[in-house]
Structure 1
Amino acid sequence: METILSTTKLSKRYGDALRVKEVNLSVREGEIYGFLGPNGAGKSTTLKMLLGLVRPTSGQVQVFGKELQANRRFVLSQIGSLIESPSYYGHLTGLENMRVVQKLRDVPAKNIEEALKIVRLEKQKEKQVEKYSLGMKQRLGIAMALLSFPKLLILDEPTNGLDPAGIGEIRELIKALPQQYGMTILLSSHLLSEIDQIATSVGIINHGHMLFQGKLSELHQKNQPRIIIKTTDNRAARDVLMRAGFFPGVEEGALVFEKLADGQVAQANRSLLAEHIDVLRIEEQKRSLEDMFLKLTGGGESL
């Protein structure tokens, strides 16, 4: 797949604080790219630089194979975005707000009805936006971003503040866009479970540093499962296993092995039974994406 967006050593300094530090980001055509990081990690600043809203201190941004600053008008005409929170006129209806954006973006009027239909607001279009729920306002913001049916859609925390039902609605909407409309989506979030369900690729940023970038499947492959063994006497079991060449840790009343092949699990079990130690449970435990994320951002590690 063609790379549709890339950055080279993209950095942004505010005073003495370097908020984004030489980020090399790569988004391929047709992807849903999840840009993950805790609050204050540098996500929104990076996205603003990709849209020309913030000028980088150093580094380059290329979109559709063109350098952003030199081709700003063309590049931005192919991008839809929702950064931080939707902008709207509360006293106007949803339809009237859409008409304002339609004229500003100089796109066909027929796009309004189609965009409202995609976000399922067509029945609420005559209602004043100040009377919309938070989820409806968020969907209106996405409809505005979709109005030109862009090649690239950039969404900053699109499910922020929504209830579980609203999050589910936005998730299903985003998942359908690449296949139905050929869009590439760059999506920032700190909701790890959501990114796990929606993204095909992921970038993890913390303190302005990119810690991991790649396919979501690659991240899960790096997540080696642990083996948990619980016995009637874990202290004695640990001594037996260490004599047999195993080095388990102890967590919450169980023995924990970071890396064990199937044959090694069977060998450990035989060693315990030979010493008449009853094995109550053997289970494989895979860390969630959230566990991986916390390990990366909390421990300052990179993959």
Structure 2
Amino acid sequence: MSADAIIQTQHLTKRYGAVSRVREVNLEVKEGDIYGFLGPNGAGKTTTLKMLLGLVKPTEGRISLFGQSLDKHRSAILKRTGSLIESPSYYGHLTGLENMKVMQRLRGVPLKNVEEALRIVRLENHKHKKADQYSLGMKQRLGIAMALLSFPKLLILDEPTNGLDPAGIGEIRELIKSLPEQYGITVLLSSHLLTEIEQVATSVGIISDGAMLYQGSMDSLRARSRSHVTFKTGDNAQAEWLLLTKGYNVAADGTRLRLDNVEDSEVAALNRLLVEQHIPVTRIERRKKSLEDIFLELTGKERSL
């Protein structure tokens, strides 16, 4: 196990009969990360998170949290872990504060944690309102407050912005971003929304049909979106030959010529070279893959997240 890994799985697999929901997933979440677990609905995200919490028994594979086996140390591990899976649970006839006190007694944590958790999720001014009267975003924040009651080292959130309006999504996003630095909490959150993961995560794992397709830092994923330049000329064959003889790594791309990782100064020089050789340049475009383009390449599926 990596020394700074809070979560690590080895060949984690879950089958229901002949159907595999999760297939040999090797997940690694490092301390201080906001790890975005990204994939379409039905990809196996929630099943994986439930296995990490001992709510679903794996068919195969091993799970380690905080360097300990989940099988052997589940009780100790869960004391250091907070979670919100699928949707928050609460008593609608009780106030936010009363709901928090119920959870505080169940978790056996100090009463002062209640006020602090409510403050972190910015519900301190609504704590005397009944939970049934909360907006969807406030209910989600109440669920996160419950997960934060013991001030865990690890927080696992399943689709925490699902169903929220843009304002609610923004509130949850800013809350999640504050947790590692201000409170020392490592966060693992799942989402099917690429834009949400992109804005909040430091590391990402992409899962589809139960299999992990990519895992690494968000910066490494963005590096895959390096730009390229395409040229369209009056004589592509002659232009390609000329550029190849000058040492440029050029390739035909449909009706255009493509060059990867060229600076603007090089583009100007290439254009000048072609024009001087009486090859008219009719179009120059710089293109860059979006993260969604990269996702589609990884999954091979023409569908949006």
Amino acid at match of 1:219: L
Structure 1 residue runs without a partner (length 5+) = none
Mapping of residues 165-244 of structure 1, within 5 Å:
165-229=167-231, 234=232, 236-244=234-242
Amino acid at match of 1:115: A
Amino acid at match of 2:262: A
- Residue 43 of structure 2 corresponds to residue 41 of structure 1: yes
Partner residue of 1:277?
280
> In the alignment, which of 75, 93, 96 is matched to residue 95 of structure 2?
93
Where 1:247 maps in the other structure, the secondary structure is strand
Amino acid at match of 2:110: P
CA contact (8 A) 1:91 1:128 kept: yes
Deviates more, 1:214-223 or 1:55-64: 214-223
Distance of 1:256 and 1:168 partners within structure 2: 42
Where 1:95 maps in the other structure, the secondary structure is helix
1:146: how far off? 0.6
Distance of 1:163 and 1:129 partners within structure 2: 18
RMSD: 2.0
Where 2:9 maps in the other structure, the secondary structure is strand
Deviations, residues 196-215 of structure 1 (Å, cap 9, x unaligned): 11111111111111111111
Distance 1:30 1:173, change over 3 A: same
Distance of 2:259 and 2:208 partners within structure 1: 25
Partner residue of 1:248?
252
CA contact (8 A) 1:241 1:268 kept: no
Mapping of residues 153-168 of structure 1, within 5 Å:
153-168=155-170
CA contact (8 A) 1:241 1:271 kept: no
Partner residue of 2:67?
65
Deviations, residues 74-126 of structure 1 (Å, cap 9, x unaligned): 00010000011111111111111111111111111111111111111111111
- Residue 50 of structure 2 corresponds to residue 52 of structure 1: no
Q: Percent identity, aligned pairs only?
A: 59
CA contact (8 A) 2:12 2:24 kept: yes
1:55: how far off? 0.2
Distance of 1:37 and 1:187 partners within structure 2: 11
Distance of 1:27 and 1:193 partners within structure 2: 20
Amino acid at match of 1:249: D
CA contact (8 A) 2:14 2:23 kept: yes
Mapping of residues 252-271 of structure 1, within 5 Å:
255=256, 257=258, 259-262=260-263, 265-266=267-268, 268-271=270-273
> In the alignment, which of 2, 5, 11 is matched to residue 3 of structure 1?
5
CA contact (8 A) 2:13 2:22 kept: yes
CA contact (8 A) 2:6 2:31 kept: yes
TM-score, normalised via structure 2 length: 0.90
Structure 2 residue runs without a partner (length 5+) = 245-249
Partner residue of 2:110?
108
Distance of 2:283 and 2:14 partners within structure 1: 54
Amino acid at match of 1:236: G
Deviations, residues 207-227 of structure 1 (Å, cap 9, x unaligned): 111111111111112222121
Distance of 2:57 and 2:30 partners within structure 1: 23
Distance of 1:77 and 1:256 partners within structure 2: 58
Amino acid at match of 1:257: R
Distance of 1:276 and 1:9 partners within structure 2: 56
CA contact (8 A) 1:224 1:258 kept: no
Partner residue of 1:21?
23
> In the alignment, which of 76, 83, 86 is matched to residue 84 of structure 1?
86
Distance of 1:198 and 1:29 partners within structure 2: 16
Distance of 1:48 and 1:56 partners within structure 2: 10
Deviations, residues 105-159 of structure 1 (Å, cap 9, x unaligned): 1111111111111111111111111111111111111111111100000001101
Deviates more, 1:261-270 or 1:63-72: 261-270
